[in-house]
Amino acid sequence: MFIRGVLSALMALLMLTSIPASGAAIAEKRVAIAPGLELRVIEAGAREKRPTIVFIPGWSAGADIWRDQIERFDDAYWIISFDPRSQGLSTKTQDGNTPEQRAVDLHALLANEGAHRPVLVAWSQGVQDVAAYVTKYGTRDISGIVLVDAAVSEGANAIAERPQEVASQFRRYDIYLASQEAYLRGMFGAIISKPQAPGFIDQAIATGMKTPASTGISMLVADMFTTDRRAALASMDCPVLIIASGNSSELGAQKAEAEMVKGTRFVQIDDAAHAVFLDQPSHFAAELADFLKELQ
């Protein structure tokens, strides 16, 4: 999935709700998408602006992980970002913490918000969610897809093909269960290589801690080892952009995926870790902007 050497691409990043947007005002709300399930959603820009950009965070992260990119694009686009179920300030559930159910959640959220042919920008675990979305719903209602530094999961095949790597990942899960906070703190050294704003790491850890540890483990197993989602790549018949860190342990797999999906544009961003849009925000934004212009 999104990891392979980078701590299984685990992700637990921040909620900088105290930082004001530099562009259009950001609105925050809770959206009921199913009985007993509310997602915390933030929006920016104006609804009449097209296309809509939907930023999808990674493992245990919140909508605000995309704050910098939201501020870069909210003048020209309608922006939606959200905390997936069991993450951030959204409802915590014992069931449904899988890419397949999060895909259903995403579909319901887009319908509720009236998001017309959005561009889905997904990072890390979010790549699995988009693959599951495409498998279930196709791409007819999607303008474009941006997959950020994660290969689509090969499911249980990974266990047989890379047993030592998988065993190492499961040993890390034991550490996470034993000391969630320490684990999250150590994780950031692997996925972020550039200095961030003061208090960033503490806020990121606080966000990650909102996901119960047992739920976090079930998410990771479902993301990486339960379902082979690679067939979704053949169904991606809309424009696709893959942005990968030059240091990614999944770099080869992401390049191979770009070859598999007709017309896919592949971009490698060097001098960045897994959180490429945090390490190289201007470069990331420029590549995304070019992609969006091509869709118009």
The pLDDT tens digits of the residues spanning 162-189 come to 999 899 989 999 999 999 999 998 987 8
Please check the confidence at residue 68 and state whether its pLDDT lies above 70: yes
Please check the confidence at residue 7 and state whether its pLDDT lies above 80: no
pLDDT at 296: 80
Percent over 90 (pLDDT), the chain:
78
- Amino acid of residue 53: I
In-domain check, residue 166:
yes
In-domain check, residue 249:
yes
- Domain containing 232 — which CATH number? 3.40.50.1820
Determine the Cα–Cα distance for residues 176 and 166; give it in Å rounded to an integer. Answer: 15
Determine the Cα–Cα distance for residues 178 and 246; give it in Å rounded to an integer. Answer: 32
Domain count, the chain: 1
In-domain check, residue 82:
yes
In-domain check, residue 1:
no
pLDDT at 189: 83
Q: Where are the beta strands (DSSP E) in the chain?
A: 27-34, 37-44, 52-56, 78-82, 119-123, 144-148, 240-245, 265-269
Name the burial class of residue 240, with classes exposed (0-12), middle (13-18) and buried (19+) by CB atoms within 10 angstroms of its CB. Answer: buried
Q: Which domain holds residue 92?
A: 7-295
The pLDDT tens digits of the residues spanning 228-257 come to 999 999 999 999 999 999 999 999 999 999
In-domain check, residue 165:
yes
| β 265-269/144-148 pair status | unpaired
Determine the Cα–Cα distance for residues 12 and 2; give it in Å rounded to an integer. Answer: 13
Determine the Cα–Cα distance for residues 17 and 26; give it in Å rounded to an integer. Answer: 10
In-domain check, residue 269:
yes
- Amino acid of residue 33: I
Structure tokens at 36: 């007993």
Alpha helix segments (H runs only) across 192-263: 200-208, 213-221, 251-260
DSSP 105-161: HHHHHHHHHT--SPEEEEETHHHHHHHHHHHHH-STT-SEEEEES-PPPBTTHHHHH
Identify the three-state secondary structure at position 21: coil
Q: Of 195-204, 209-218, 228-237, 252-261, give the lowest mean pLDDT range.
A: 195-204
Residue 227 pLDDT grade (very low, low, confident, very high; cuts 50, 70, 90)? very high
pLDDT at 11: 34
In-domain check, residue 19:
yes
Determine the Cα–Cα distance for residues 50 and 181; give it in Å rounded to an integer. Answer: 40
Residue 134's CB: how many other CB atoms inside 10 A? Answer: 25
In-domain check, residue 2:
no
> Could you tell me the CA-to-CA distances from 36 to 40, 93, 95, 98, 248 in Å, in that order?
13, 9, 12, 17, 38
Name the burial class of residue 65, with classes exposed (0-12), middle (13-18) and buried (19+) by CB atoms within 10 angstroms of its CB. Answer: buried
Structure tokens at 31: 């959206």
The pLDDT tens digits of the residues spanning 12-59 come to 333 333 333 344 588 999 999 999 999 999 999 988 877 899 999 999
User: What element of type H or E holds 15?
Assistant: none
Query: Are 203 and 15 a contacting pair, CB within 8 Å?
Result: yes
Determine the Cα–Cα distance for residues 172 and 267; give it in Å rounded to an integer. Answer: 30
Burial 183-204 (b: 16+ CB within 10 A, else e): bbbebbebbbbeebeeebbebb
